[in-house]
Amino acid sequence: MYVLSMTGRHVTDETVLTLATLTALTTLGLRSCRNVTNERFQALRSFTVLTDLDLMASRHLSDDEISALSSLTDLTNLHLFSCRQVTDQALLPLASLNLHLGRCKRITHHRLQALDGLTSLRILR
């Protein structure tokens, strides 16, 4: 098991590109990484054995990047607490994950109806 956790504004696009070479990581935390752009979040797809991904408070993270994570077949836990750009549409391909979605402002009670299709969902926070 390989674990890495980084937080804050010191994490940049270049940091994420460098991390993409660490393909044996099973747990990765990138909390409050406000200087990482959408394009660099796409590099997370290289973590093919990743089981736990924490992207809490990632300001630029959007639906496209979240949907791309569905290619991570070992991923079981996805933490998106306070990711303000993420909507319920991004969650549909992630039906089998444990999702942590507190303070995701674009996922409203009304929009949660779209999650009816997530028949394998075990945990929703």
Q: What pLDDT is recorded for position 91?
A: 76
pLDDT at site 68:
83
The C-alpha torsion from 65 through 14 and 11 to 29, rounded to 10°, is 50
Taking the chain (125 residues) in runs of 10, the rounded mean pLDDT of each run is 89 91 93 87 89 91 86 92 86 79 75 60 60
Q: What does the pLDDT read at residue 72?
A: 92
